[in-house]
Amino acid sequence: MIKYVIKRLLIMIPTLLAVIFIVFFITNMTPGDPGSLILGQNASKEDIAKKNEELGFYDPLLVRYGKYVWDLVHGDLGNSWKSGRSVMKEVLGRLPVTATLAAGSVIIGIIFGISLGIISAVKQYSITDIILTIIAMFLASFPGFWIGMMLILLFSLALGWLPAFGVGSFKHYILPWITAGCGFIASQLRMTRTSMLECIRADYMRTARAKGQKEFKVITRHALRNALLPIITLVGMEFGSMLGGTVTIESVFSLPGVGSMIIEAIRLKDVPLILGGTISLSILFTVVMVIVDILYAFVDPRIKARYTK
């Protein structure tokens, strides 16, 4: 088991280096230079050139990439070209909002998506299955910003139950969680239904029923456990994608997360802030996928047995 974990952690290193290089390459290919953005257009060409030289802007791309990775390893993401503040502090200040939004929506998706998916699979081709399939199609087809605005109109403006924007309390996250979780509920419901149907038809299910086990125990212990691998994969991918894909939700509900920070940095052409925010989310996504790989070993005994010999 330890060998499996170490192997997954080692694979994470070249993956992160490749991701950092791609993001670094793209952001550094954008027009503009730090000297002009920091000093302004009214500064002299000599001052701008001196500032660019100071920041290493004229160094080759690979040299700048190496310096950036070295600083990143030491916890330094540079400073914002516009505000001059530390990018690391900016990201860490906004990351809890994005992580809370992503985690809450994933939990909602897991609870409702898996539960409804199991019911849909057990009652295949029934009225319940048809209704749940239609609900999943509707949730998947509606864009997140539309769902968010409808929830604001209903629960904030019409009923006055929940706040429409900002952060500060648990109530501020309820509508964003529901908005972000709707799409995940739809995908999780369909994935759970498909995976469960494959297991329900297996021979070991008939054997378990023949032994006199209760149907609830047969479904949860045998079918669900064997159907967990694709479900866990989807959960990990959805959580990782939500870390960087909540920009729309953050914009609708005015949440000060990393996604909205990156959008604002793009508008201002603040490359260090774009780079720092994007790479931070990429690192978190990679870590989440490594955790998912490790969970495979606990769910599937075959993986564990392969590394315990």
- pLDDT tens digits, one per residue of 160-170: 888 877 777 88
- pLDDT tens digits, one per residue of 15-42: 888 888 888 888 777 776 777 777 776 7
Q: Is the distance from CB of 296 to CB of 106 less than 8 angstroms?
A: no
Cα–Cα distances in angstroms (integers) from residue 191 to residues 62, 120, 133, 136, in the given order: 42, 11, 11, 11
The confidence score (pLDDT) of residue 160 equals 81
The confidence score (pLDDT) of residue 281 equals 82
The CATH architecture to which 95-306 belongs is: Orthogonal Bundle (1.10)
The confidence score (pLDDT) of residue 156 equals 85
Residue scoring higher pLDDT (256 or 213)? 256
Closest by CA to 109, choosing from 196, 237, 216, is: 237
Cα–Cα distances in angstroms (integers) from residue 264 to residues 33, 101, 102, 169, 214, in the given order: 18, 19, 20, 24, 56
The confidence score (pLDDT) of residue 302 equals 62
pLDDT band, very low/low/confident/very high, at 245 (cuts 50, 70, 90): low
Closest by CA to 147, choosing from 105, 174, 176, 189, is: 176
Q: Is the distance from CB of 229 to CB of 241 less than 8 angstroms?
A: no
The confidence score (pLDDT) of residue 291 equals 79
Residue 221: pLDDT over 80: no
Residue scoring higher pLDDT (303 or 159)? 159
The confidence score (pLDDT) of residue 307 equals 57
- Percent of the chain residues topping a pLDDT of 90: 0
The confidence score (pLDDT) of residue 270 equals 78
pLDDT band, very low/low/confident/very high, at 4 (cuts 50, 70, 90): low
Domain assignments of the chain as residue spans, ordered by start = 2-87, 95-306
Cα–Cα distances in angstroms (integers) from residue 182 to residues 12, 40, 148, in the given order: 30, 44, 10
Q: Mean pLDDT over residues 168-189, rounded?
A: 84
pLDDT band, very low/low/confident/very high, at 142 (cuts 50, 70, 90): confident
- pLDDT tens digits, one per residue of 85-136: 888 888 888 888 888 888 888 888 888 888 888 888 888 888 988 888 888 8
Residue 286: pLDDT over 70: yes
